[in-house]
Amino acid sequence: MSRLSEHFAALRSRNEKALVCFVTAGDPNPDATVALVETLAKAGADCVEIGIPFSDPLADGPSIQASSQRALEQGMTVRKSLEVIRRIRARVPDLPLIPMTYYNPIRHFGLTEYARQAKEAGADGHIVTDLTPEEAEEWKRICIAEGLDTIFLLAPTSTTARIEIVTALSDGFVYCVSRTGVTGLRDDIPAELRDVVTNIKAYTDKPVFVGFGISRPEHVERIVAFADGVVVGTSLVNLIHKERDNPDLLEIVYQYVASLKAATR
Amino acid sequence: MTTATAEYALLPDERGRFGVYGGRFVPETLIPALDELTLAYAAAQQDPAFQKELDGHLKDYVGRATPLYYAERLSDEYGAKIYLKREDLCHTGAHKINNALGQILLARRMGKPRIIAETGAGQHGVAVATVCARFGVECEVYMGEEDTQRQALNVARMKLLGARVIPVTSGTATLKDATNEAIRDWVTNVRNTHYIIGSVVGPHPYPMIVRDFQSVIGREARVQILEKEGRLPDYVIACVGGGSNAMGIFYPFLNDGAVNLLGVEAAGEGLNSGKHCAPLTAGTLGVLHGSASYLMQDSDGQVAVTHSISAGLDYPGVGPEHAWMKDAGRAKYVSITDNEALEGLQKLAHREGIICALETAHAVAYLEKMRPQLTPETILIINCSGRGDKDMNTVVQSLELT
Ligand SMILES: Cc1ncc(COP(=O)(O)O)c(C=O)c1O
């Protein structure tokens, strides 16, 4: 079993839901990212997605776009992102780590070489936002060979046929997008979400996590009533950006993430 | 070449592939919409009523067939027979309306009440705003902020037509970023919105659909040249941004192995300056906006900042079928700088009394490079993809005409 699957099975046996956090590698800088992920782990994050920045993140809203842009302007690259992951792994030996990116940067790097280096750096699996199972055959084969998980997404628009394909091919968990749209803050939780998740769960025993638009403990509490976990990205990216020069940055992030984690128990 | 060419018109395959190019690299949310579009298009193709309706609008609303004009004084200058396919005479002033019209009819069949589009030069935006006005559909157009300035006339036209123009400030604030924003809008509003892509780019089935709707250009041109000359041309030349006017005029000639197809990209300030947008000439395999093709990118796989004097060519990607035709050797791709394009534009204005778009001027300017190989028997067709009114600001500034 992969680290992801083991970790989430253990959570399930404790009757606990998962908190997945997202940060962009290199925003505000690589050292900060390493320290931040260590803090996320201490605060109770069950898994961290590390965004490898891409110039044209078409599934992301303004906050993560800007964060990616800042990271790129800092000189972040795929290679440097892997270096950040390697340093994170040295600090948090057991935390599931998932690089999240778009297809072009890793394709350009060379899929096989990228996967080899990502594994060696300590990644457990990947989310490639613009790679659906149909286009992921080669990538999936390479990841299997390296012992890396591939996580695929489902959306409220997904048909039964697609739910069957994606739940069969996604490793570790299935990522359910909370609404049609890009990443970004939202006040409410869509009324249809419970039905969407419940329907997906009818096709799989794999954990189903919900992401996009989740920022508050009360969102988390409501979603984990029917899903196995939540992914929090934009609000964390915003918080880090806002407090980047604050000497108490790590403490502030710790408090916020701990409050989210408390809502999963 | 003839045996190989028999296959050309058969692509893409059912996965939307032209060889290794094309495909569907999009977030999961959009897959059902792309499936729906694929089905709706297949059904429309089978439906004679659809074709009849489209043909009717192309004739009476767009003004087709457009003339194949013998450019006599240009021909004298170059010592060859040069014909212009006058897409600049289409309603709204460019070939873009052929596709916009086809797609709005598809959107109606799919029952989508809202239309979005991206635009660079504004010609596609104007075409979409026009058909939306014609059919009474809500329309929003994404346009890079830089382009809203250099193509201000077209912004005014879109507004007058009742469309909302949304300036895009992210990234380089040009066509690439307008396309990102349009895709983000589509991901969000996919249930009630159809996205009318303006070129032969994007995820499958767009490159195929846009090509098919634009192929009316080449079908007409092929008949017209046979009428006028009794034989096929030696060259068909078109500018290539995303590649829709080129694909539209090339496609019906694909199986005519003796017809040389020439696509002209924008070399900006020169291929060595780093300031250009010639992915087929100087790019590498990459994935942008949903399909695999040639792409301008840096060593890290980040999409490069591009430059062209012409907003409609200022795009780092190109349609996947062009990538495939390049590799297969069926079409040849070359490039023309900003300055050369300005000269081409003036040459056509002085010699023929036709002020073409800056995009089109790249195709015209390539004549200069061909000069040594032209003979009085050489027949060329240049796709005159659009008229130049929209570019007057840029041209006036560049040529210091005031
Ligand atoms: C007149 C004209 N020609 C050409 C183009 C380039 O697009 P494509 O390569 O898709 O024909 C544009 C795009 O805006 C245009 O307005």
Does ligand 1 come within 6 angstroms of the Cβ of B244? yes
Output the residue whose Cα is nearest ligand 1's atom 1: B386
d(CA A85, CA A123): 7
B2/A249 Cα distance (integer angstroms): 67
Q: Which helix (H) or strand (E) holds A57?
A: none
The structure tokens 């980040």 sit at B302
Structure tokens at B301: 């796989």
What's the pLDDT score for residue B171?
A: 85
> Is the CB of residue A263 less than 8 Å from the CB of residue A220?
yes
Residue B365 to residue B342: CA distance in whole angstroms: 8
CA distances from A27 to A23, A213, A242, B204 (A): 8, 20, 11, 34
pLDDT of residue A132: 97
**Alpha-helix residue ranges (DSSP H) falling in B251-353:** 279-282, 320-328, 338-352
Is residue B197 lining ligand 1, measured as CB closer than 6 Å? no
Kindly list the residues from chain B whose CB atom is less than 8 angstroms away from the CB atom of residue A72: 302
The Cα of B19 is separated from the nearest Cα of chain A by a number of Å equal to 14
The answer to whether residue B390 is catalytic is: no
Cβ–Cβ < 8 Å for B337, B52: no
Gap between the Cα atoms of A21 and B132, Å rounded: 43
pLDDT at B402: 66
Burial class of residue B48, CB neighbours in 10 A (0-12, 13-18, 19+): exposed
Name the band, by pLDDT with cuts 50, 70 and 90, for residue B4.
Answer: very low
Distances (CA, A) of A40 to A254, A265, B211: 6, 16, 50
Distances in whole angstroms, Cα of residue B163 to Cα of each of A45, A116, A182, B402: 46, 49, 24, 32
Q: Please give the domain boundaries of chain A with CATH numbers for all domains.
A: 3-262 (3.20.20.70)
pLDDT in tens, B346-385: 999 999 999 999 999 999 999 999 999 999 999 999 999 9
CA distances from B49 to B45, B52, B53, B54 (A): 9, 5, 6, 9
Q: What's the CA gap between A87 and A85, in Å, rounded? A: 5
Q: Using the mean position of ligand 1's atoms as its centre, give its distance from the Cα of residue B360 in Å.
A: 8
**Residue B8: its pLDDT value, please?**
73
pLDDT digits (tens, 9 = 90+) for A176-199: 999 999 999 998 999 999 999 999
Residue A157 contacts residue B159 (beta carbons within 8 Å): no
For residue B297, which residues of chain A lie inside 8 Å, CB to CB? 104, 108
Supply angle C-alpha A114, A117, A118, rounded to 5.
Answer: 80
Q: How far is CA A58 from the centre of its chain?
A: 16
The mean pLDDT value of chain B amounts to 96
DSSP readout, B324-359?
HHHHHTSEEEEEEEHHHHHHHHHHHHHHHS--B-HH
Does this complex have an ipTM over 0.90?
Answer: yes
Q: Is the CB of B241 under 6 A from ligand 1?
A: yes
Is residue A1 predicted with pLDDT exceeding 90? no
Q: Which of A38, A46, A60, A228 is catalytic?
A: A60
User: What are the pLDDT digits (tens) for A7-49?
Assistant: 999 999 999 999 999 999 999 999 999 999 999 999 999 999 9
> What is the rounded CA–CA span in Å between residue A186 and residue A233?
12
Q: Is A202 exposed, middle or buried (0-12, 13-18, 19+ CB in 10 A)?
A: exposed
Does residue B1 surpass a pLDDT of 60?
Answer: no
Catalytic: A60? yes
Contacts of B373 (CB under 8 A, 6+ apart): none
Q: B95 CA distance to ligand 1 centroid (A)?
A: 8
> Measured between alpha carbons, how far is residue B264 from residues B79, B99, B382 in Å?
21, 21, 11
Contact: B290, A130; criterion CB under 8 Å: yes
- Residue A28 vs residues A77, A236, A242, A243, A256: alpha-carbon distances, Å: 14, 12, 10, 10, 18
DSSP tag of B64: P
Q: Alpha helices of B79-215 — where are they, by DSSP H?
A: 96-109, 123-135, 145-150, 152-160, 175-189, 206-214
Q: Please say if the pLDDT value at position B3 is more than 50.
A: no
Residue B108, token pair as written in the block? 């109606």
Residue-wise burial string across B371-381, b where 16 or more C-beta atoms lie within 10 A, e elsewhere: eeebeeebbbb
pLDDT value at A141 more than 90: yes
Mean pLDDT of chain A: 97
- The pLDDT-based confidence of B401 (bands split at 50, 70, 90) is confident
- Residue B144 three-state SS: strand
- Nearest chain A residue (CA) to B14: A134
Residues pairing with A151 in the sheet: A127
Q: What is the pTM of this model?
A: 0.97
Taking alpha carbons only, the member of A15, A6, A1 closest to residue A228 is A15
Q: Is B96 among the residues known to form the active site? A: yes
**Ligand 1, atom 5, residue with closest C-alpha:** B312
Angle between helices B152-160 and B123-135 (to 10 degrees): 10
CA-based torsion, B150, B152, B157, B162: positive or negative: positive
- Nearest Cα residue to B360 out of B315, B399, B326, B311: B311
Beta strands in A52-112 (DSSP E): 97-101
- CB distance B172 to B142 below 8 Å: no
**Parallel, antiparallel or unpaired: strands A153-154 and A174-177:** parallel
The answer to whether B138 and B196 are in contact (CB under 8 A) is no
Among protein residues, the one with the nearest Cα to ligand 1's atom 7 is B241
Residue A110 · residue A61 · CB < 8 Å: no
For an interface test with B, give the residue of A76, A101, A157 to mutate (most B CBs within 10 A).
Answer: A157
Ranges A122-131, B166-175, B177-186, B322-331: which has the least confidence:
B166-175
* pLDDT at residue A139 in the model: 98
Least Cα distance to A211 among A42, A19, A1 occurs for A19
What one-character-per-residue DSSP string does B77-114 give? HHTSEEEEEEGGGSTTSBTHHHHHHHHHHHHHHTT--E
Cα distance between residue B49 and residue B30, in whole Å: 28
